[in-house]
Amino acid sequence: MGSNGPEEYLRPEYVVQIDGMDSIVPNPDPQVQVPSDMRLSNFIQKLRYKPNADWDLTYGFYYSRTSEYDRYDRLIEYRNGLPRSAVWYYGPMLWNMHNLQLQHVKSTGLYDVARLTMAYQLFEESRVDRSYRRSLERIREERVDAYSLNLDFQKKAGLSTWFYGAELVYNAVGSVGTDRDIDVGIVSEAASRYPDGSSWQSYALYASNKYTIRDNVTLQTGLRYNQVLLDATFDTTFYPFP
């Protein structure tokens, strides 16, 4: 944001707490969008073991984490001349993945290349919001454990190359809602963002063929079957579901 843009993009004031009360203070530099900062850390590690020309084993670890970061677009909303929100931010977001892949390259009756891939991913995120000069702070926390397994084959037969395999995906979802009164410190259970303890599953089979008509012309066809299952309990404690 520069000094020659429209005034609507300036940040002339923002909300802070003074002596336990939300207060509006002037921004000494309206061109700075307060608060809009964040930090991000990433780490990747890969290992490979190849005992011979036929077998290849690789492992990958991926880690990513953010700091808390504010929902700036919510913090600049006004209602009756006052900010709608005193607080609106995402908690630290965490993602990591373990990935293990085993590959066998050898011409057999079923395949020339076979590849088994297994992965586990963890996602964690949260969001916190509170209306201006209200004491009730809403906290929503989510966690997803994601498991996947892929089995892929490749086989060349004359002018055709066949690709086929299977996939299994399973996601376990945890979601918790909490309300906290910042004045007295009372914490109570609240509605979660998603059904807690729910799961999502996907099973798939696929096959495709690449036929080389000549060097610069190929014909590709494919077929995939996919089944998706969702299991969730809709709690009526906070919402009157039928």
pLDDT at residue 1 tops 60: no
What is the domain extent for residue 12?
Answer: 1-34
pLDDT digits (tens, 9 = 90+) for 172-225: 999 999 999 999 999 999 999 999 999 999 999 999 999 998 888 999 999 999
77, 28: one domain = no
* pLDDT tens digits for range 71-95: 999 999 999 999 999 999 999 999 9
Count the domains in the chain.
2
Residue 21 lies in a domain: yes
CA distance linking residue 221 with residue 193, whole number of Å: 41
Both tokens of residue 240?
A: 């009157």
Return d(Cα 101, Cα 58) in angstroms, integer.
5
Residue 90 backbone phi and psi in degrees, to 5: -95, 135
Whether 143 contacts 165, CB under 8 Å = no
- How much is the pTM? 0.87
Q: CA 119 to CA 34: how far, in whole Å?
A: 39
Same domain? For 46 and 6 the reply is no
Query: What is the CATH classification number for the domain harbouring 201?
Result: 2.40.170.20
Give 242's pLDDT tier (boundaries 50, 70, 90): confident
Q: Give, as one character, the DSSP assignment of residue 128.
A: E
Write down the mean pLDDT value for the chain: 95
- Would you say residue 240 lies in a domain? no
Let me know if 223 is exposed, middle or buried by CB neighbors in 10 A (0-12, 13-18, 19+).
exposed
In a shared domain, residues 76 and 11: no
